[in-house]
Amino acid sequence: MSVKLGLPSKGRLMEKTFDWFTRRGVELKRTGSDREYSAAASGFDGLEVVLLSAGEIPRELAAGRIHLGVTGSDLVREKLGLWNEKVAELAPMGFGHADLIIAVPRAWVDVSTLDDLDAVAAAFRARHGFRLRIATKYHRLIREHLRAYGVADYQLVDSQGATEGSIKNETAEAIADITSTGETLRANHLKILTGEPVHKSQAKLFKSRRVEWAKEDRTVLAALEKRLGISGGGKP
């Protein structure tokens, strides 16, 4: 038996994740060629590394196919309904910081809050006969956020890339997306609505609540937590 640890398979997120574990005494290395999605942990027994896309890791945790996984907290909350019944947060990792925000055209000088957006959305529907469109790939998080603030006259338009260009391309009137610096938003003449972001995301180490935790697995987990200097996130 071994504890399966799902890690991001490429890019800076993978590099920073490997560095995070290595600095804490669990050395991670790619194995095989650059085209092979395989890696291993040295100096720590009972841990099997599985390389996946960051977007796949929440699903694999919830399905119980991996024991542990590193991914963005935004992805866990977006992809998993009742996420905290399926996974537990073990540790924030201190990188991958980004805010999920709602942005509108800078030219909308009278719109700076969600209340303003609500008023504009109602007027937009009355004038155009259809709801104001918000381009995003974060449907669950944005819908829950707008519901909490009583915003109803809108529709979500799916966007899987170049979301900031949706307004210029006239496929949406507003956007909701992840940003770390805001530079791309400013370049596209957009402004972020004031107030707290929809979600403040960062990379975190998660534990599956749906996997079958054998006695040996729990022993490996306890040893890993001790090595990493973290406390358990509740019962597996």
Cα–Cα distance measured from residue 221 to residue 219, given in angstroms and rounded to the nearest whole number: 5
Closest listed residue to residue 143, CA positions, set 196, 47, 204, 77: 77
Output the pTM of the full model: 0.90
Domains of the chain, by residue range, sit at 3-97+202-228, 98-200
Residue with tokens 């979500």: 156
Q: Whole-number mean pLDDT of the chain?
A: 92
**Does residue 168 come out as left (phi exceeding 0), alpha (psi in the -120 to 50 range) or beta?**
alpha
pLDDT of residue 160: 75
pLDDT of residue 35: 63
Contacts 24+ apart (CB under 8 A), 130-133: 130/155, 131/155, 132/173, 132/174, 133/157, 133/171, 133/172, 133/173, 133/174
Closest listed residue to residue 75, CA positions, set 93, 59, 94: 59
CA-based R_g, the chain, Å: 21
Backbone φ and ψ of 84, nearest 5°:
-75, -5
Give per-residue pLDDT as tens, 191-201. Answer: 999 999 999 99
- Average confidence (pLDDT) over 135-150: 96
Pairing of strands 47-52, 3-8: parallel
Give per-residue pLDDT as tens, 143-180. Answer: 999 999 999 999 999 997 788 889 988 899 999 999 99
> What's at 34, amino acid-wise?
D
CATH code 3.40.190.10 for 3-97+202-228: yes
Q: Do the first three CATH levels of 3-97+202-228 and 98-200 match, i.e. the same topology? A: yes
**Domain 98-200 CATH (choose: 3.40.50.620, 3.10.20.30, 2.60.40.10, 3.40.190.10):** 3.40.190.10
Closest listed residue to residue 229, CA positions, set 14, 21, 56: 21
pLDDT of residue 42: 87
